[in-house]
């Protein structure tokens, strides 16, 4: 019994390094990231270029992601949707069923990602935020699962904590990066120069990664200042643009108001002139009537006088 127990203990002890080596080799074959970094401000191209210059950094690939509620005929679950870019080499995966997405409404899913309800090829999935609204980062409302993949990115059933109320993520999807609508990248994946040559489970790897992390954190301090300054400059630029639009709008309004008031004044003058013309016309008509009456009276008098003369002559 003792010998069997010792043999069993030795076997179990020996399996741990073998399993670690197997997992490490699997991760390296798909270029699993050494780092993923996030920022509240997101990342712009100048951030990416700065990261590429950090000592010991080998590959830098920006990406997008968003956490949303996914609903299909099997139910509802919280998923993380990663961007997919065929030119990227970090966090590669193996297509085990179906095909890759060909448009912004097609996705690939992890194989058996969620015990209670894994996504399958052909599933139609509706995406939304917890309140039912749409994400501004990913405008797509409905997607179709066209492929299933294996990836070293999520080896455990337990995944990351979501950005939505710190809820656990149940599964993940990949969608073409063109489906995202964001002026900034939302995450950056990094491979180091020597990380692949070290076992991911070794102390030497931990030490190496810690040193590279310090360099990235130092850069982050600088880039945060640059980003903060740029945000202030952009805000001031927007403010100045808004103020100029306000000034231009005020001038335009005043110009329109002045023109309108001039039109009113001109119309009032025309009305006044018209009234004066009417009054003058009425005077002329009255005078004409008076002249006509006078003429008629004179004519009548002449008729009477003429008739009197005729009568006298006949007598």
* Digit-coded pLDDT (tens) for 266-309: 888 888 888 888 888 788 888 878 888 887 888 888 787 777 77
Spatial distance between the Cα atoms of 63 and 83, rounded to a whole number of angstroms:
6
Query: What is the per-residue pLDDT for 139?
Result: 92
Spatial distance between the Cα atoms of 285 and 290, rounded to a whole number of angstroms:
9
Query: What is the per-residue pLDDT for 279?
Result: 81
Which residues span the domain enclosing 95? Answer: 2-227
161 bridge partner residues: 168
Phi/psi of residue 161, nearest 5 degrees: -90, 135
Query: What is the per-residue pLDDT for 140?
Result: 93
Pairing of strands 171-176, 75-84: parallel
- Which pLDDT band, with edges at 50, 70 and 90, does 12 fall under? very low
* Domain assignment of residue 150, yes or no: yes
Query: What is the per-residue pLDDT for 41?
Result: 80
Spatial distance between the Cα atoms of 226 and 178, rounded to a whole number of angstroms:
27
- Residue with the bigger pLDDT between 48 and 22: it is 48
* Domain assignment of residue 247, yes or no: no
- Which pLDDT band, with edges at 50, 70 and 90, does 156 fall under? low
* Domain assignment of residue 135, yes or no: yes
* Cα 267 to chain centroid, rounded: 51
Q: Which residues contact 104 (CB under 8 A, 6 or more apart)?
A: 140, 175, 176, 178, 179
Average pLDDT over residues 9-33: 64
Pairing of strands 171-176, 106-110: antiparallel
By the 8 A CB rule, do 129 and 164 touch?
Answer: yes
Average pLDDT over residues 207-233: 86
- Which pLDDT band, with edges at 50, 70 and 90, does 260 fall under? confident
- Residue with the bigger pLDDT between 15 and 243: it is 243
Query: What is the per-residue pLDDT for 188?
Result: 93
* Domain assignment of residue 72, yes or no: yes
* Domain assignment of residue 17, yes or no: yes
* Domain assignment of residue 114, yes or no: yes
Does pLDDT of 130 surpass 90? Answer: no
- Residue with the bigger pLDDT between 244 and 277: it is 244
pLDDT over 90, % of the chain: 35
By the 8 A CB rule, do 112 and 97 touch?
Answer: no
* Domain assignment of residue 38, yes or no: yes
253 bridge partner residues: none
* Cα 77 to chain centroid, rounded: 24
Q: Structural domain tally of the chain?
A: 1
By the 8 A CB rule, do 62 and 71 touch?
Answer: no
Q: CB atoms < 10 A from the CB of 32, how many?
A: 22
Average pLDDT over residues 222-241: 83
* Domain assignment of residue 77, yes or no: yes
Spatial distance between the Cα atoms of 92 and 86, rounded to a whole number of angstroms:
9
């Amino acid at each position: 019994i003792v010998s069997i127990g010792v043999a069993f203990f030795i076997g179990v002890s020996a399996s741990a390094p073998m399993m670690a080596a197997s997992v490490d080799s699997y991760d390296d074959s798909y270029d699993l990231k050494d780092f993923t970094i996030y920022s509240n401000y997101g990342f712009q191209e100048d951030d990416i270029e700065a990261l590429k210059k950090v000592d010991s950094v080998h590959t830098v690939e920006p990406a997008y992601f968003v956490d949303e509620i996914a609903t299909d005929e099997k139910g509802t679950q919280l998923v993380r949707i990663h961007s997919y870019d065929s030119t990227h080499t970090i966090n590669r995966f193996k297509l085990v069923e179906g095909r890759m997405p060909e448009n912004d409404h097609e996705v690939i899913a992890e194989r058996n990602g969620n015990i209670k309800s894994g996504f399958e090829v052909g599933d139609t999935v509706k995406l939304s935020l917890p309140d039912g609204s749409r994400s501004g980062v990913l405008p797509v409302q409905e997607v179709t699962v066209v492929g299933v993949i294996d990836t070293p990115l999520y080896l455990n059933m337990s995944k990351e904590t979501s950005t939505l109320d710190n809820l656990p993520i149940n599964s993940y999807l990949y969608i073409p990066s063109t489906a995202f609508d964001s002026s900034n990248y939302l995450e950056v994946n990094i491979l180091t120069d020597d990380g692949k040559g070290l076992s991911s489970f070794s102390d030497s790897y931990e030490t190496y990664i810690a040193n590279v992390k310090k360099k990235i954190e130092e850069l982050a301090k600088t880039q945060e200042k640059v980003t903060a300054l740029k945000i202030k400059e952009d805000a001031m630029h927007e403010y100045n643009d808004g103020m100029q639009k306000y000034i231009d709008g005020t001038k335009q309004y005043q110009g329109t108001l002045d023109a309108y008031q001039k039109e009113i004044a001109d119309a009032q003058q025309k009305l006044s002139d018209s009234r004066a013309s009417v009054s003058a016309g009425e005077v002329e008509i009255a005078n004409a009537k008076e002249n006509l009456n006078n003429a008629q009276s004179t004519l009548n008098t002449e008729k009477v006088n003429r008739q009197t003369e005729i009568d006298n002559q006949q007598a």
